[in-house]
Amino acid sequence: MNSELKLTSVGISYLNQARKWTYFLSIIGFIFTGLIVLMALFFSSFMAMFSGMDSSYGVSEFTSMGTGMVTVFYLFFALLYFFLSLYLYRFSKRVKGAINEEDSSQLEDGLKNLKSYWKLTGILTVVALGVYVLFFLISILFGAAAFAGA
């Protein structure tokens, strides 16, 4: 059994094209991560501007709930988005080096980062599906309670 895998020029071309797209997406991801962080940091000061408004607008109740949790929420998502972008960036850089230098160890490292990207994406998908199911079940329970009370 041959344990060595060789890429043809067509396979290298496909890998190079994927590398270019992942590089582009990683840069866009870093930019959006920065925007999310800025939004998280300035959200509480933005909402503080509305704290002096009359309570008839419903804003003071929202600000009394605490905008700190919203800031933490946004920072958490920015951290996740940063790691997704970082894995794509590392993949593209390692694959570029592997193609230019014909270095299989860089290719392995790049593929390891691609695996980490998809693993994190899969975990986030499972968590999101779990949250959707939980909200669906809660809405059914509240609907049944409202129907029984009526």
Q: Is residue 102 part of a domain?
A: yes
- Whether 86 is covered by a domain: the verdict is yes
Q: How many CB atoms lie within 10 A of CB 32?
A: 14
pLDDT at 66: 63
Tokens representing residue 8 in the block: 């043809």
- Residue 57 inside a domain? The answer is yes
Is 1 among the domain residues?
no
- pTM confidence score: 0.81
Predicted confidence (pLDDT) per residue in 25-75, tens digit: 999 999 999 999 999 888 777 776 666 555 555 555 555 556 778 888 899
Domain-located, residue 127? yes
- Is 60 within a domain? yes
CA distance 82 to 33: 6
Q: What is the pLDDT of residue 43?
A: 78
Q: Is residue 4 part of a domain?
A: no
Count of domains for the chain: 1
| pLDDT band at residue 5 using 50, 70 and 90 as cut-offs | confident
CB 82 within 8 A of CB 45: no
For residue 121, the enclosing domain spans: 9-149
- What is d(CA 109, CA 82) in angstroms, rounded to the nearest whole number? 19
pLDDT tens sequence across 73-132: 899 999 999 999 999 999 999 999 999 999 999 999 999 999 999 999 999 999 999 999
Q: Is residue 99 part of a domain?
A: yes
